[in-house]
Amino acid sequence: MNLLRVWAMSRKELLHIARDPRSLGMAIAIPMLLLVLFGYALTLDVDNVPLVVWDQDGSHASRAFVSRFTGSPYFSLRGYVRNGQQLERAVDSGKALVGLVLPPDFAGRVDSGREVPVQLIVDGSDSNTATIAMGYADGVVRAYSQELASRQIRRRGGVEPAWPLEVRPRVWFNPELESKNYIIPGLIAVIMMVIAALLTSLTVAREWERGTMEQLISTPVKGRELILGKLLPYFAIGMLDVLLAVLMGEFLFQVPLRGNVALLFAMAAIFLAGALALGMTISIVTKSQLLASQVAMVLTFLPAFLLSGFMYAISNMPQAIQWVTYLIPARYFVALLKGIYLKGIGLNILMLEAGLLTLFALLMLALANVKFHKKLE
Amino acid sequence: MIERIKQMLIKEFIQIFRDPRMKAVIFLMPAVQLVVFGYAVTTDVRHVRLAVYDLDHSEASRELIARFVKSGYFDIAAYAATAEQVRRRMDRGQVQAAVQINRGFMEDLRAGRTAVVQLLLDGTDSNTAAVVLDYSARITREFSEQVWLSRLSRYPGSPPEPTGVQLRTRAWFNENLESRNFYIPGVIAIIVMLITLMLTSMAVVREKEIGTMEQILVTPITPSEFILGKTVPFALIGFADVVLITLLGVFWFGVPIRGNLFLLFGATALYLMTTLGVGLLISTVSQTQQQAMMSTFFFYFPAVLLSGFMFPIANMPAVIQGLTYLNPLRYFLVIVRGIFLKGVGPGILWPQMVALAGMGLVVLWLASRRFRKTLA
């Protein structure tokens, strides 16, 4: 390997990049945009569930019961309905996710100590939100029932026994359960996978398509040197993106970084090298920009996004899909990032992930070299 | 004119499918993606790996733990003997939650005092943690209530069975609350958007980059014929993909289609108008395929995130919520979910359809105007 030739190749690639400032701008802007969106705009937390109420009683007691719902931060009242049809329409059109139906003799039943049936209609299409909303409603209703029971006991002059269990939950690693703390570290992995795909997947295919590959073939540059030379500038851009992302996480979003920063960047470098080599391999194999862009999107972005455990916990997936995730390098990097960021753990625990990540990078670099033939067909 | 468009269509199809690998990308990939992502994209939390740290070793503590297992949500992954073991397993991610029952648990319960149960959670995945917290709260509350009632019956003068509000919950549209039914219609929408966007965004700029645009300019074809020739093939491909993956969703995953199929295809046509229009617009403003690819991504990613596909729009800041009205995917998601799960018709979905049609016309108009300028 001749370093001078590698450098010449890198310089040529840098010129290409400099000549296309729009692409370079987007390579920097996309990560920032994603971070801002995830940091500020997107949350999986469920609150302000839109609620409509069908109060068939309209008494003081029923209004007091409804105010338990509307007074909590979990529900937001979108209006009252007067019949079942209106309720159905409100849920059908998505105006409300939850409908609360109170029976006509609500107050009477409460006063006489009879059972009070209250119906809760939930739009189940979004099962996650529905489950959580049902949990909230259950909590509100039980608290109310508890109070009713206490009142009954006191009225009869009875003694109220102590509540038997007290649960003290303690959340480790992310005590406030803030979704940004868990999303932003994982997001770095997704961003880098995407940047790698966007940057390198076209770079060799472009040369083939435009015919400039023939010029390169006629130079003494070797396959290895060409690949390395093309990778280096994009590696620099990718590491710049990582740096920006880490800085934004630290100063803009205050995501705690409990582990070793050097380890974080070392792992990022390994992952980036592998991802760039993957993009390069796609480019080498397809030789067409159209095909390369499609393949790159399919192989990098969506798997990194959906199968890496970044958003959807891997342990909740069916076993067969869990096996598939072992083929996704972003999986290891997400685990590493979350471990380093939130748990503050080091290589002694993350050995397996780090090892597999390195293996992936080496395999990809080797593959790019094997697949690249410096000759015309 | 018809003849010229026909020739243009033939040329486009030849170009797309000249590389046999392209067929796989267009027809096989979406199917594979739907199957893999259909299984992967789930927010159902089951089989939570639980560590038991029982210091009481009593009948009562075992009963409480049995309730965790019986709920079906928890699998006991470890019995820990020390707090250190719990910590280590959690660090390694071997357990996601731990119940700690201190010595004297049963004694407290017997004596009528309040016994304390400690619940430890791994908060790295805040969504799963919140759900686990909710499950545990429900399980312990039920346990608690039962003990409370038995305590109550021991006091003289108490009512035998105090009654309160009985909550009868019914989930509509998705009775078993399977997240798959919610996500799969959405996955169809995002896959189709990606394919059509990528194909059209490359369509015009490729001719520019390779230099074949000049050959087209010398032919008698008019700009609008050219635009039609560049959109119709991708519209057909998009349709074929929608049919293909809808069939998969229905027959493989058993997602119900409760609404009208014709309505679904009509709405798909409107949706494809918007994605093709955006793709074409990108293609006309880009100089190279690299730029086109990045711009596509620049549009696609926020479009997916700000559509309500996984993040509820109602929880976004007001400014961002306003922005989502510009997102075609937002409207199409309401339509597909409405048709698949709720079985609602145009009476309810017309605002979304009108929005899609309006956006489609505007972007297609913009794209063709922009395209004429490029030629001039």
Residues 6+ apart with CB under 8 A from B147: A164, A165, B109
Q: Which percentage of chain A shows pLDDT scores above 70? A: 98
Closest CA to B287 of A276, A16, A279: A16
Contact (CB<8Å) B294/A173: no
Per-residue pLDDT, averaged over A167-196, amounts to: 79
Contact between B48 and B96 under an 8 Å Cβ cutoff? The reply is: yes
Look-up of token digits 């003081």: A60
Q: What is the pLDDT of residue B206?
A: 86
Tell me: the pLDDT tens digits for A263-299? Answer: 999 999 999 999 999 999 999 998 888 888 888 888 8
- pLDDT of B376 higher than 60: no
Q: What is the pLDDT of residue B92?
A: 81
Tell me: the pLDDT tens digits for A321-343? Answer: 889 899 888 999 998 998 898 88
Q: What is the pLDDT of residue A139?
A: 84
Q: Which of A26, A316, A324 sits opposite B42 (nearest CB)?
A: A316
Q: Report chain B residues whose CB lies below 8 A from the CB of A51.
A: none
Q: Which of A153, A182, A295 sits opposite B158 (nearest CB)?
A: A153
Report CA A346 to chain centroid distance, whole Å.
Answer: 23
pLDDT band at B265 (very low <50, low <70, confident <90, very high): very high
Q: Return the exposure string of B217-233: e unless at least 16 CB atoms fall within 10 Å of the residue's CB, then b.
A: eeeebeeebbbbbbbbb
A211: left (phi over 0), alpha (psi -120 to 50) or beta: left
pLDDT band at A361 (very low <50, low <70, confident <90, very high): very high
**Cα(A52)–Cα(A123) distance, rounded to whole angstroms?**
12
Number of neighbours of residue B153 by Cβ within 10 angstroms: 13
Tell me: the pLDDT tens digits for B228-246? Answer: 888 899 999 999 999 999 9
- pLDDT of B186 higher than 70: yes
3-state secondary structure of A54: strand
- pLDDT of B158 higher than 60: no
Contact (CB<8Å) A125/B182: yes
- pLDDT of A164 higher than 70: yes
Q: What is the pLDDT of residue A274?
A: 93
Q: Which of B118, B124, B159 sits opposite A173 (nearest CB)?
A: B124
The answer to whether the complex's ipTM is over 0.85 is no
Lowest average pLDDT, out of B62-66, B183-187, B357-361, goes to B183-187
pLDDT band at B272 (very low <50, low <70, confident <90, very high): very high
Instruction: For chain B, give every domain's residue range.
Output: 26-42+178-375, 48-154
- pLDDT of B264 higher than 90: yes
Contact (CB<8Å) A124/B173: yes
Q: What is the DSSP letter of A160?
A: P
Lowest average pLDDT, out of A61-65, A148-152, B110-114, B160-164, goes to B160-164
Question: What value does the mean pLDDT of chain A take?
Answer: 86
Q: Report chain B residues whose CB lies below 8 A from the CB of A149.
A: 162-164
Q: Which one has a higher pLDDT value, A79 or A93? A: A79
Contact (CB<8Å) B315/A162: no
Annotate chain B with three-state secondary structure. Answer: CHHHHHHHHHHHHHHHHCCHHHHHHHHHHHHHHHHHHHHHCCCCCCCEEEEEEECCCCHHHHHHHHHHHHCCCEEEEEECCCHHHHHHHHHCCCCCEEEEECCCHHHHHHHCCCEEEEEEEECCCHHHHHHHHHHHHHHHHHHHHHHHHHHHHHCCCCCCCCCCEEEEEEEECCCCCCHHHHHHHHHHHHHHHHHHHHHHHHHHHHHHHHCCHHHHHCCCCCHHHHHHHHHHHHHHHHHHHHHHHHHHHHHCCCCCCCCCHHHHHHHHHHHHHHHHHHHHHHHHHCCCHHHHHHHHHHHHHHHHHCCCCCCCHHHCCHHHHHHHCCCHHHHHHHHHHHHHHHCCCHHHHHHHHHHHHHHHHHHHHHHHHHHHHHHC
**Cα(B211)–Cα(A209) distance, rounded to whole angstroms?**
11
Lowest average pLDDT, out of A10-19, A127-136, A231-240, A356-365, goes to A127-136
Entry pTM: 0.82
**Cα(B201)–Cα(B367) distance, rounded to whole angstroms?**
11
Range 33-72 of B in CB contact (< 8 A) with A: 33, 36-37, 39-47, 49
- pLDDT of B155 higher than 80: no
Q: Is B186 exposed, middle or buried, given 0-12, 13-18 or 19+ CB atoms closer than 10 A?
A: buried
- pLDDT of B157 higher than 60: no
Q: How far is CA B292 from CA A209, B109, B224, B287, B297, in A?
A: 16, 68, 21, 8, 9
Q: Return the exposure string of A226-259: e unless at least 16 CB atoms fall within 10 Å of the residue's CB, then b.
A: bbbbbbbbbbebbeebbeebbebbeeebebebeb
Tell me: the pLDDT tens digits for A119-159? Answer: 998 888 877 788 888 888 888 888 888 888 777 777 777 67
β-bridge pairing B97-101 and B48-54: parallel
Distance from CA of A117 to the nearest CA of B (A): 5
Chain A residue with CA closest to B121: the answer is A171
Per-residue pLDDT, averaged over A49-62, amounts to: 91
Contact (CB<8Å) A121/B33: no
Closest CA to A183 of A32, A326, A337, A26: A337
> Which domains are delineated in chain A?
3-42+178-371 (no CATH), 49-155 (3.40.1710.10)
β-bridge pairing A116-123 and A98-102: antiparallel
Q: What is the pLDDT of residue B236?
A: 92
**Cα(B120)–Cα(B124) distance, rounded to whole angstroms?**
12
Q: What is the pLDDT of residue B267?
A: 94
Per-residue pLDDT, averaged over B5-10, amounts to: 86
Contact (CB<8Å) A65/B165: yes
Q: Which one has a higher pLDDT value, B91 or A263? A: A263
Structure token digits, residue A92:
């059908």
* Residue from B125, B142, B161 to probe the interface with A (highest A Cβ count within 10 Å): B125
pLDDT band at B247 (very low <50, low <70, confident <90, very high): very high
- pLDDT of A1 higher than 60: yes
Question: What value does the mean pLDDT of chain B take?
Answer: 86
Q: What is the pLDDT of residue A174?
A: 73
Structure token digits, residue B204:
């015009």
Q: What is the pLDDT of residue A231?
A: 92
Q: What is the pLDDT of residue A269?
A: 94
* Residue from B43, B116, B252, B307 to probe the interface with A (highest A Cβ count within 10 Å): B43
Contact (CB<8Å) B171/A124: yes
Distance from CA of A222 to the nearest CA of B (A): 25
Contact (CB<8Å) A113/B162: yes
Give Dmax over CA atoms of chain B in angstroms: 101
Tell me: the pLDDT tens digits for A96-111? Answer: 889 999 999 888 888 8
Q: Report chain B residues whose CB lies below 8 A from the CB of A206.
A: 288-290
pLDDT band at B189 (very low <50, low <70, confident <90, very high): very high
Distance from CA of B222 to the nearest CA of A (A): 25
Contact between B172 and B165 under an 8 Å Cβ cutoff? The reply is: no
Contact (CB<8Å) B22/A168: no
B336 in A contact zone (CB under 8 Å): no
Q: Which of B156, B165, B298 sits opposite A144 (nearest CB)?
A: B165
Lowest average pLDDT, out of A226-235, B155-164, B235-244, goes to B155-164
The CATH class, in words, for B48-154 is alpha beta
Q: Which of B47, B163, B348 sits opposite A92 (nearest CB)?
A: B348
Look-up of token digits 């303690």: A170
Q: Report chain B residues whose CB lies below 8 A from the CB of A28.
A: none
Number of neighbours of residue B338 by Cβ within 10 angstroms: 26
